[in-house]
Structures are given as structure tokens and as C-alpha cells.
């Protein structure tokens, strides 16, 4: 997603501009169809990361291709500066805005990732990230891999929705409320809500491996993408500095557990995360200097969460390795003290 700034002292995320659905039941003008669409994401963006993880866990790679915008953008939008020639190799566009304007001439809302683009027309179909996660899980079932997990188990959906709503307001969006606050009171309010919620989540996770039930659900995907960026970006850049994630033992172990689970850590590029946050938000970091730290190798250290039980994929199985073009850089091995 792209950051949005309101005219008030408090950060307000602007509404999404193309909230269509892709469905198998005929309830929308966009049918589920293999190879018709391309998912555009960015390694830096947590909102896009959620959809990429869900696509990985469900095994939709063979039917829905993935384009990756680079970590840097300008006033024209996300751009494909890491691709050969600076254009997406399938859509042939330099800026994601082009696909939005193909769909809505004169488009004047936020150009955000994730976005699903119809390949033949080059038009954005939807940028509704939360609907995409749910629809990938419930509308694309004919194309799920064997052993795909159930990320929205029917008997748990109300609980998932309640937890996810709290996580969205206080954590996912909460770090942005801290980082883009224009007044001290607005920052203080967001900071207090963020760490109160993290403390409550830490207490919940101290006795159970996952947020809802004994398997990974969408609630875990939602929380994890913010935790994965916490020390690399939010702690310093967004002034969320009561403590690092690495100093919150339960959440740090929970985050490492998921990082080491296929489908999570293999979607993360810490360098692109830092390049984006520190390099794009000139209002927050006018020098554009990107920090060298922190050392990411700690993500590979043992977490001990297995002792809480739980079955990551329920009755399913882990996804296989990512397709070669989608692989992210490997982390350095952690140093061992002797």
C-alpha cells in the first residue's frame, strides 16, 4: 500500500480506489480464471506482503503470476525499477499508475499495492487487499494446491475477524499513526495504543502458538507482516521505540517461528524494506539515509514455540519452495557462541 496523510494532526488511511472482487460464484464482473490476472506487490509493503503470503500458502503461483514493484517510488507511484528496462516484464509498464489509469481514466486516488491487473487489458481489477486474502482462500479453491491450509476456518471466522480488527487499528495501521503523526498528542495516542495492543497480544500468545486455534490463520498473517518490519523500520523510522521486537520475548519467538515456516520468511527482503521506508518518506527522513542495521540473522535462531503444540498447517502441508524468479535473498547464518 502507499502511505496516506490526512490534513489533520492524526494519520488517516485513505480509502481504496478500486474495490472490486474476483469471485467464482458470479457475484462480481471478474471471474476466477487461471492466467487471466497478475498480482502486483512490493517486498517493502506489509499490505502486499499479506496477499503474497496467502498466495504462497494456498499454492496459487501456477495460476496467478506475481510482479514485484521496486522499493522506491516518486509522486507518480510505485515503479518497476528492479526489472530489466525498468518495466514489468508481463504488463510492460514503468509505473503502476498506468494500470490504474487504464481502468479509470484520470484516476486521482491512491496508487497502492497489492493490486490485481487483468493482463489482456492492462487494467487494475482491484486493490482491496483484505478482500483478496479472503477471496484467494474461499473463491479460488479449485486452484489451491493439495494440502493447502484453511486460513479462514468457518467456525473461527468471527474470532479471526475480531482479532484482525484490533491488530489492524492498533498495530498494522498503528505504526503509521505513530510515524506520520503531525502533533505530539496524536503520536502519544498512537504509541500508547500500539504498545498496549502488543502487550495484550504477547499475553495471549504466551500460552498458545497461534492467535486463533492451533493452526495458522489470516490473523497470524496480518500481525506477522508488521512484526517482520518492526526492528528494520518502525522502531527507528516511525519512532515506535519503547522496545525492539527482539526485546519482547514472546512476540519475538512467535515472529521467528513464523519466519521459519515456509510461506512467511521466504517472502521477506529486509534491504528492500529499509530502502523503501527510509528512502521514500522524505517528510520523516529528509536525508534519505538508509541504516545498515539491524543484523537480520537472529530471525534464524531457535524459537522454542513447538513446545506449545499446534499444527501450523492443520491437516494440510507446507508449501514447496517459491518459484525461482520469486526467491528472496538468503539471510546470513546466525553466529554461534561457543
- pLDDT band of 5, cuts 50, 70, 90: very low
Whether the predicted pLDDT of 14 surpasses 90: no
Predicted pLDDT of residue 337: 47
| Mean predicted confidence (pLDDT) in 78-88 | 96
| Mean predicted confidence (pLDDT) in 47-70 | 98
Whether the predicted pLDDT of 110 surpasses 90: no
Predicted pLDDT of residue 336: 61
Mapped onto helix, strand or coil, the DSSP state of residue 30 is: strand
CA–CA distances in Å: residue 148 to residues 7, 41, 141, 257 = 44, 22, 9, 19
The model carries a pTM of 0.94
Q: What is the dihedral of CA 180, 181, 183, 189, to 10 degrees?
A: -160
Predicted pLDDT of residue 300: 97
Predicted pLDDT of residue 256: 98
Topology agreement, domain 22-143 and domain 154-326 = no
Whether the predicted pLDDT of 6 surpasses 60: no
Predicted pLDDT of residue 15: 57
CATH fold, domain 22-143, is Glutaredoxin (3.40.30)
Q: Is 176 a catalytic residue?
A: yes
- pLDDT band of 8, cuts 50, 70, 90: low
Whole-number mean pLDDT of the chain? 93
Q: Select which of 107, 176, 191, 277 is catalytic.
A: 176
**Lookup result for grid cell 535462531:** 301
Higher pLDDT, 11 or 278: 278
Predicted pLDDT of residue 63: 98
Q: What percent of the chain has pLDDT over 70?
A: 95
Predicted pLDDT of residue 314: 96
User: How is the chain split into domains, by residue range?
Assistant: 22-143, 154-326
Arch. (CATH architecture) of 154-326: Up-down Bundle (1.20)
The total of other beta-carbon atoms located within 10 Å of residue 240's CB is: 27
- pLDDT band of 170, cuts 50, 70, 90: very high
Q: Is 178 a catalytic residue?
A: no
The total of other beta-carbon atoms located within 10 Å of residue 65's CB is: 20
Predicted pLDDT of residue 2: 53
Per-residue pLDDT reduced to its tens digit, 201-219: 999 999 999 999 999 999 9
Annotated binding-site residue? 78: yes
| Mean predicted confidence (pLDDT) in 92-121 | 94
Q: Are 11 and 180 in contact (CB under 8 A)?
A: yes
Per-residue pLDDT reduced to its tens digit, 131-164: 999 999 999 999 999 999 999 999 999 999 999 9
Whether the predicted pLDDT of 13 surpasses 60: no
Amino acid at each position: 500500500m502507499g502511505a496516506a496523510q490526512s490534513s489533520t494532526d492524526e494519520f488517516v488511511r485513505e480509502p481504496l480506489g478500486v474495490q472490486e472482487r474476483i469471485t467464482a460464484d458470479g457475484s462480481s464482473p471478474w471471474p476466477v480464471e487461471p492466467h487471466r490476472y497478475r498480482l502486483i506487490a512490493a517486498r517493502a509493503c506489509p499490505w502486499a506482503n499479506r496477499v503474497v503470503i496467502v498466495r504462497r500458502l494456498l499454492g496459487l503461483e501456477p495460476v496467478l503470476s506475481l510482479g514485484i514493484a521496486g522499493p522506491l517510488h516518486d509522486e507518480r507511484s510505485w515503479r518497476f525499477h528492479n526489472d530489466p528496462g525498468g518495466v514489468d516484464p508481463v504488463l510492460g509498464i514503468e509505473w503502476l499508475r498506468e494500470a490504474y489509469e487504464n481502468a479509470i481514466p484520470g484516476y486521482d486516488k491512491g496508487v497502492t499495492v497489492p493490486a490485481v491487473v487483468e493482463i489482456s487489458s492492462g487494467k487494475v481489477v482491484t486493490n482491496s487487499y483484505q478482500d483478496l486474502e479472503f477471496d484467494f482462500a474461499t473463491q479460488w479453491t479449485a486452484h489451491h494446491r493439495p494440502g493447502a491450509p484453511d486460513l479462514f476456518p468457518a467456525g473461527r471466522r468471527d474470532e479471526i475477524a475480531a482479532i484482525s480488527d484490533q491488530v489492524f487499528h492498533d498495530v498494522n495501521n498503528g505504526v503509521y499513526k505513530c510515524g506520520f503523526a503531525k502533533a505530539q498528542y496524536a503520536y502519544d495516542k498512537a504509541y500508547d495504543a500500539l504498545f498496549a495492543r502488543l502487550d495484550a497480544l504477547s499475553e495471549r500468545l504466551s500460552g498458545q502458538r497461534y492467535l486463533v486455534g492451533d493452526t495458522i490463520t489470516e490473523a497470524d498473517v496480518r500481525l506477522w507482516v508488521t512484526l517482520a518490519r518492526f526492528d528494520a523500520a518502525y522502531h527507528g523510522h516511525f519512532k515506535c521505540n519503547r522496545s525492539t521486537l527482539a526485546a519482547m520475548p514472546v512476540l519475538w519467538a512467535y515472529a521467528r517461528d513464523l519466519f521459519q515456516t515456509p510461506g512467511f520468511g521466504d517472502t521477506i527482503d529486509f534491504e528492500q524494506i529499509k530502502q523503501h521506508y527510509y528512502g521514500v518518506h522524505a517528510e520523516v527522513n529528509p536525508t534519505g539515509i538508509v541504516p545498515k542495521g539491524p543484523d537480520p540473522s537472529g530471525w534464524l535462531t531457535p524459537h522454542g514455540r513447538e513446545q506449545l503444540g499446534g499444527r501450523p498447517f492443520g491437516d494440510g502441508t507446507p508449501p514447496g519452495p517459491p518459484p525461482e524468479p520469486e526467491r528472496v535473498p538468503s539471510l546470513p547464518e546466525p553466529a554461534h557462541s561457543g
